Structure 1
Amino acid sequence: MTEFQTQIQAATRIVQTVYGLSVEWQPIPGEVEVVQACIGGREELPIYLTQSGEQTLCICYLWHDDEIEPSRRTELLEAMLDLNIPMPLSAFARVEGYFVVFGALARQSRPEDLAQELAALSENALEALEAFADYLKQ
């Protein structure tokens, strides 16, 4: 088990204990170490964690570009910009055509900090889907 996976396991115990959320995680095979974390009841919004340089990145995919109602695209983008600052510990971005919500912390962050990031990012992803549902194709 890598140091990163050990940190994630410790964070998982904290998420379960402090935030009352169940978490299942699994490594994703590939050249870069990536771990997928699924929060119980939110399996459709897995969080992908990886380390890059001095950061730990946490990303949750929300929807693909082609799922946006074309006539409401500009309105959606403006709403996302408006929500970016009041959304604690997370921000919006686009990765290869997918809209995501993400957070980053120092690579050496404590498991408690990673646990807080996981819980906040999962909650923010849910809130983003609710807030922006009207902008997506039905």
Structure 2
Amino acid sequence: MDAALQQRIAEAGRRLAGQLGAFEVARIPGEVVVFKVEISGREELPIFITQADSQILCICYLWTERDVAPSRRTALLEAMLDLNIAIPLSSFGRIGDKYLIYGALACEAGADDLAQDLLALSDNAVDALEAMAEYLH
């Protein structure tokens, strides 16, 4: 499974090279197979990719709870809910104290589908940081 996924990620990177620039993929050590994708010029927003039984999950961490201005936290959460509909192929979420944006694909998704999701997720992460800057410190 991990070799096939890594191959699809690498192929997606080749297809995105003209749009996003250099694309580096590294496997993260651990029990769960996770790949870290870094895009040139967007290294601060790596995308983590893993595959479960029914989907491929792509996650980009945006900020932590301590980055949120306490007096603006409720407004941030409301803004995230409001923006969820307007963000194509991505959704906001949270794991522990880390806020993120993510996308999911079917396990059978090919390199073109993965490339489209990675492009959308990366662009949406940049847009989310800009849109939510007023709530962060």
What TM-score do you get using the length of structure 1 for normalisation? Answer: 0.95
Give the equivalent residue in structure 1 for 2:26.
Answer: 26
What amino acid maps onto 2:104 in structure 1? Answer: A
Give the equivalent residue in structure 2 for 1:132.
Answer: 132
Summarize deviations over 1:3-49 as a string: whole Å, max 9, x none.
111111111111114x2432111110110110000111000000000
Question: Distance in 1 between the 2:131 and 2:21 partners?
Answer: 22
Give the equivalent residue in structure 2 for 1:46.
Answer: 46
Q: What does residue range 1-138 of structure 1 map to in structure 2 within 5 Å?
A: 2-17=3-18, 19-137=19-137
Cα drift, residue 123 of structure 1: 0.4
RMSD: 1.1
What amino acid maps onto 2:32 in structure 1? Answer: V
Question: Distance in 2 between the 1:20 and 1:61 partners?
Answer: 18
What amino acid maps onto 1:55 in structure 2? Answer: Q
Summarize deviations over 1:47-68 as a string: whole Å, max 9, x none.
0000011100000000001110
Q: Is the 8 A contact 2:65 2:98 kept in 1?
A: yes
Question: Distance in 1 between the 2:126 and 2:42 partners?
Answer: 8
Question: Distance in 2 between the 1:110 and 1:9 partners?
Answer: 11
Q: Which runs of 5 or more residues in structure 2 are unaligned?
A: none
Question: Distance in 2 between the 1:102 and 1:96 partners?
Answer: 15
Question: Distance in 2 between the 1:129 and 1:14 partners?
Answer: 25
Q: Count residues with an aligned counterpart.
A: 136
The runs of at least 4 aligned residues of structure 1 exceeding 4 Å deviation read none
Question: Distance in 2 between the 1:21 and 1:97 partners?
Answer: 31
**Quick one: percent identity of the two aligned structures?**
51
